[in-house]
Amino acid sequence: MVSRTALVVLVLIGLVIGSCAKKAEDVPAAYVSPLTYQPYNCQQLAGEAERVSQRAAELSGVQNKKRTRDTVTTTAAVIVFWPAAFLVNGDDAQTAELARLKGEFQTIQQVSVQKNCGLQFQQG
């Protein structure tokens, strides 16, 4: 039978690991209505796609750094010093912004296809 202390430790480890920040590629796109970009012409869509893509790339770097930091903190908490577990931040407003930007990018792609803009998109 598992001791009560071991069970508590396992539950704490699970909670800490589950609270780590996601990798940027694992952040799902948020829904953005196509109506937002319907009034845009093809040139405006291209400019907006570039702006959204640049900001998403910046936030992806930040998100991946947070993921690495949280993983290191979690490892330290589990192996060395369990109060360090309270330093794990998980996902935050930047994660939400990244999800929104991914949604905007997908919507811009969708609207540009509907308008036959012929734009080439690369998500990185």
Give the pLDDT confidence of 18-59 residue by residue, as tens digits. Answer: 556 667 677 889 999 999 999 999 999 999 999 998 888 888
Task: Please check the confidence at residue 10 and state whether its pLDDT lies above 70.
Answer: no
For residue 122, being part of any structural domain is answered with: no
For residue 55, being part of any structural domain is answered with: yes
Residues spanned by the domain of 8: 4-114
- The residue with greater pLDDT, 84 or 23, is 23
- The residue with greater pLDDT, 19 or 110, is 110
For residue 121, being part of any structural domain is answered with: no
Q: CB atoms < 10 A from the CB of 97, how many?
A: 17
Distance, CA of 103 to CA of 95 (rounded, Å): 12
Task: Please check the confidence at residue 87 and state whether its pLDDT lies above 50.
Answer: no
